[in-house]
């Protein structure tokens, strides 16, 4: 199985400051189609997860461009340029290239 | 607007069965692979199973193979998860999701306990 190592476990950030989360996979996430199925999700307290980014760097509709995704092969990063109060929750990376699909363990973003 | 609404959860004894349903609307259901994802209390997300858009292919995590069955009825735009031989470790919130294109349900709680 592909292991997704997500760091840090928690992050305390002041409003307006940047934040960065790393996700490293135990094998390349480039699929046979040439696409890399790496998603970033946010689960706000008491809510179901919501996808923010797909295919490494593509923003979902309605997601502010404060969010960005980057990376390739086995090394991926989610960045928030300026954290807002609405950003708090747990962030997960998800690989959808290889079965079984696997998630990172999550990064809890708290406001400082 | 994409809507995924799960139902069928609750309390069940170990060794018994339960069937979850997920009613989809707002998109052409039979165009998309669908998945179930679970989240044990206070824990992270775990992929459970995926079914292809036409139901011809199914995939499962090892811990549920032989016990859970994912299926779909495209005429009813509904996804199912038949869960047999339930164990206490299956206790979780189960989400219906379109993992590759986005869209999650609100989740349904399954508690396996005597």
Question: What CA dihedral angle connects A95, B7, B109 and B27, to 10 degrees?
Answer: 30
Can you name the residues that pair with B51 across neighbouring β-strands? B34, B58
Residues in A whose CB is inside 8 Å of some CB of B read: 37, 39, 41, 43, 48-51, 54, 60, 92, 94, 96, 99-106
Greatest CA separation for chain B: 40
| B100 confidence band (pLDDT: 50, 70, 90) | confident
pLDDT per residue over B39-93, tens digit each? 999 999 999 999 999 999 999 999 999 999 999 999 999 999 999 999 999 999 9
Q: Are B36 and B48 in contact (CB under 8 A)?
A: yes
Percent of chain A with pLDDT over 90: 98
Q: Give Cα B96 distance to the centre of its chain.
A: 5
Q: Between chains, do B46 and A37 touch, taking CB under 8 Å as contact?
A: no
Structure confidence at residue B101 (pLDDT): 87
């Amino acid at each position: 199985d592909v292991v997704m190592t997500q760091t840090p476990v928690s992050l305390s950030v002041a409003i307006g400051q940047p934040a960065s989360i790393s996700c490293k996979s135990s094998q390349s996430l480039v699929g046979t189609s040439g696409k890399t199925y790496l998603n970033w999700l946010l689960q706000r307290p008491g809510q179901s997860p919501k996808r923010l980014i797909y295919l490494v760097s593509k923003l979902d509709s309605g997601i502010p461009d404060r969010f960005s995704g980057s990376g390739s092969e086995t090394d991926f990063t989610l960045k928030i340029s300026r954290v807002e109060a609405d950003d708090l929750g747990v962030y997960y990376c998800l690989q959808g290239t290889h079965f079984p699909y696997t998630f990172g363990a999550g990064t809890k973003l708290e406001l400082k | 607007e994409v809507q995924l609404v799960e139902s069928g959860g609750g309390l069940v004894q170990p060794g018994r069965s339960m069937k979850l349903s997920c009613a989809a609307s707002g998109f052409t259901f039979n165009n998309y692979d669908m998945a179930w994802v679970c989240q044990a209390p206070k824990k992270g997300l775990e992929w459970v199973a995926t079914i292809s858009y036409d139901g011809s292919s199914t995939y499962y995590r090892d811990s549920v193979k032989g016990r859970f069955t994912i299926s779909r009825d495209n005429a009813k735009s509904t996804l199912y998860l038949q869960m047999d031989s339930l164990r206490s470790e299956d206790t979780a919130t189960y989400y219906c999701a379109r993992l590759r294109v986005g869209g999650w349900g609100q989740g349904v709680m399954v508690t396996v306990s005597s």
